Amino acid sequence: MIDLLPYIGYTIPFAVLLSFFLTFFSIPYVVRVARKHNILVYPNHRDVHQGGISRMGGLSIFLSLVFCLIFFSGINTILYFRSILTGVIILFFFGLYDDLMELSPWKKILGEVMAATLVIAGAQMRFSNLYGFLGIYELGLVPSVLLTIFVFVAIINAFNLIDGIDGLAAGMGIETSLLFGFFFIVNGATRFATLCAILIGSLAAFFYFNVYSKKFKLFMGDSGSLVVGFLIGLMAWRFNELMIEPGISFRLNAAPVVAMGFLTIPLYDTLRVMVVRIRHRKSPFSADRLHVHHILLSLGFSHRKVRIFLLTFNLLMALLSIFLQHYIHNVIIILGILLAICLILTFWLLKIRDRQQKNLIPNS
């Protein structure tokens, strides 16, 4: 049995603090360089910010993550994490290219598939069991590989698309890492608990500058959101596999659905937006203002209120998924309940928005 007290008392807090301060002190330098070379993003018809702002936040997050992963890795762990580091590097540079030059969605997906394939081939990180979802338990090699690639691409794109207002993607990353990290700690998955701590510290520092700083405000950019989505995908994989290991302290019976519950807002919003775009014969990757945070902004809510509402709703759905899995052993029913709640919420918000827009139209 692993003695977790020293680990929780020293390693986790130190990982959070180190990644926080590395990101915190590097961001002002990144912003100054971006301004000097005019690497800034200016508002268009979809944006809600004013003036030119750097979207190089991903650079500070990336540097902090890589340094901390190496710092907290022994010889055996660094070999374990080498595929993860390679995947992080690939996605960072794909995202950086998109931030600087613009990259087609399909080329970004190619980078995501490459990163997922690396962790599958290099570290055997693939989903092996669906816990009875759609009547499927253990997966064969080919279905396992295809499912793993699909899940990684879905989660990476979900975080990429949810990054639409100040603090939302970072806050969602922190919240999700805390949820996964709790189960990693209580079940002795120390490597991934450290990964959660590192990501939390880095995103917390970025969150401060993204939301509260006026002098050094910056955006995460694709170089950040792709990397964060990739790491959250790794956490979802480890969480799923951890719950079928013998001898763990806190076991969940429907790990795939609970993991989706932790990611309710990013996954549901991405699915809904893509379905609506396809329905209107548009590319599923086209830019628009159909996201749930855009709907809330159109209702007159501030960035702060939208952020709090969505993070709170996501947390409640995560807790509900944990609660339901103890009482409902059919994962389809649990998933259906979560989806129904999201659909009801969306329908309600859209009805309010339509009513407001009608009231703004003067009678002829």
User: Would you kindly state where each structural domain of the chain is located, as residue ranges?
Assistant: 4-358
pTM for the structure as a whole: 0.92
Is residue 84 within 8 A of residue 117, CB to CB? The reply is: no
DSSP string, 97-148: HHHHH---HHHHHHHHHHHHHHHHHHH-----EEEEETTEEE--HHHHHHHH
Is residue 90 within 8 A of residue 104, CB to CB? The reply is: no
Q: Kindly report, residue by residue over 256-315, the tens digit of the pLDDT.
A: 889 999 999 999 999 999 888 888 888 787 777 888 898 889 888 899 999 999 999 999
Q: What does the pLDDT read at residue 78?
A: 63
* Residue 1 confidence class, pLDDT cut points 50, 70, 90: very low
Is residue 229 within 8 A of residue 157, CB to CB? The reply is: yes
pLDDT of 364 over the 50 cut: no
Mean pLDDT of 146-168: 93
Q: Which of these ranges, 9-18, 233-242, 283-292, 330-339, has the smallest mean pLDDT?
A: 283-292
